[in-house]
């Protein structure tokens, strides 16, 4: 669903499709002069399917659909791993950075870890009371506020509030989230074909796009064709 997961999800899709077709495909000798890839059809598919969401909609979605999972993790390790996943910090070095910034950037997680040590978490049930947003004081993004009602193990309830800023630009988004762009290390294009290839890679590596594709569209994306098994 997010930038740091894009490459992993697309490669997973490639692996799945490759396995499903390998038994039926006939090996072809490699051409000494490969035919240039036609990116026009691939980009047409992306034009139809890709998201045009804003940082506000992305942050609202995170708080509405994902954040509440932090309150129901059964132990500290699961809580850490859930937070890493939600904030797109998946590599070992990224995880270590989160741990080193626990008292500054990731104060919410520090609070939840304390609640778990005190036996308050995990909650038996979590419901979302409300979510609202307003322009932040600097007018460079939105402050998204969410309230969660936790039903604890002893039957009592506790309200937890979360306020996360969503910058207007996805590249910065929020310091809790690792938004280094996938493809940042791609070489600068030297010609039109390389430019189209770069555009395709940066636009295609999105789980929310891939999951909308048909089987044939996935095959088109990875330069495979449907195999007639009749």
In which band, very low, low, confident or very high, does the pLDDT at 24 lie, cut at 50, 70 and 90?
very low
Q: 53 vs 100, which has greater pLDDT?
A: 100
- Give the C-alpha distances (Å, rounded to integers) separating 189 from 185, 197, 199: 12, 9, 10
Q: 48 vs 11, which has greater pLDDT?
A: 48
Tell me the C-alpha distance between 214 and 218, whole Å: 6
CB 142 within 8 A of CB 136: yes
Please give the pLDDT value at position 210: 67
pLDDT in tens, 45-59: 777 776 566 889 989
Structure-block tokens of residue 90? 């998946």
| Beta pairing class for 141-151 and 157-167 | antiparallel
CB 32 within 8 A of CB 87: no
State the pTM of this model: 0.63
CB 133 within 8 A of CB 75: no
pLDDT in tens, 185-222: 567 788 888 888 877 777 766 655 666 777 788 777 77
Tell me the C-alpha distance between 94 and 96, whole Å: 5
Q: Average the pLDDT over each of 99-113, 141-155, 166-180 and give the range with the smallest value.
A: 166-180
In which band, very low, low, confident or very high, does the pLDDT at 30 lie, cut at 50, 70 and 90?
low
Tell me the C-alpha distance between 202 and 172, whole Å: 17
Each domain of the chain, given as residue ranges in start order, spans: 52-172
- 3-state helix/strand/coil string of 2-38: CHHHHHHHHHHHHHHHHHHHHCCCCCCCCCCCCCCCC
Residue corresponding to tokens 């936790």: 150
Pick from 168, 209, 171, 162: nearest CA to 66? 162
Q: How many CA atoms lie within 13 A of 86 on its CB side?
A: 22
Tell me the C-alpha distance between 176 and 167, whole Å: 12
Residue 127's beta-bridge partner residues? 149
> What is the CATH architecture of 52-172?
Roll (3.10)
What's the chain's average pLDDT? 80
Burial 160-176 (b: 16+ CB within 10 A, else e): bebebbbbeebeebbeb
């Amino acid at each position: 669903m997010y930038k740091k997961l894009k490459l992993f999800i697309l490669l997973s899709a490639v692996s799945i499709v490759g396995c499903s077709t390998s038994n039926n495909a006939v090996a072809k000798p490699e051409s000494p002069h490969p035919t240039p890839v036609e990116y026009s059809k691939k980009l047409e598919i992306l034009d139809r399917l890709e998201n045009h969401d804003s940082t506000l909609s992305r942050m609202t979605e995170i708080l509405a659909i994902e954040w509440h999972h932090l309150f129901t993790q059964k132990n500290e390790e699961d809580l850490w791993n859930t937070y890493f996943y939600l904030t797109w910090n998946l590599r070992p070095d990224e995880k270590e950075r989160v741990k080193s910034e626990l008292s500054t950037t990731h104060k919410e997680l520090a609070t939840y870890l304390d609640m778990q040590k005190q036996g308050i978490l995990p909650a038996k049930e979590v419901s979302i009371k409300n979510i609202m947003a307003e322009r932040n004081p600097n007018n460079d993004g939105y402050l998204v506020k969410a309230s969660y009602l936790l039903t604890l193990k002893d039957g009592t309830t506790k309200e937890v509030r979360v306020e996360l800023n969503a910058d207007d630009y996805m590249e910065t988004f929020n310091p809790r989230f690792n938004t280094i762009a996938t493809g940042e290390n791609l070489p600068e294009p030297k010609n039109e074909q390389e430019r189209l290839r770069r555009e395709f890679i940066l636009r295609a590596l999105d789980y929310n796009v891939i999951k909308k594709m048909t089987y044939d569209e996935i095959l088109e994306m990875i330069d495979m064709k449907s195999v007639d098994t009749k």
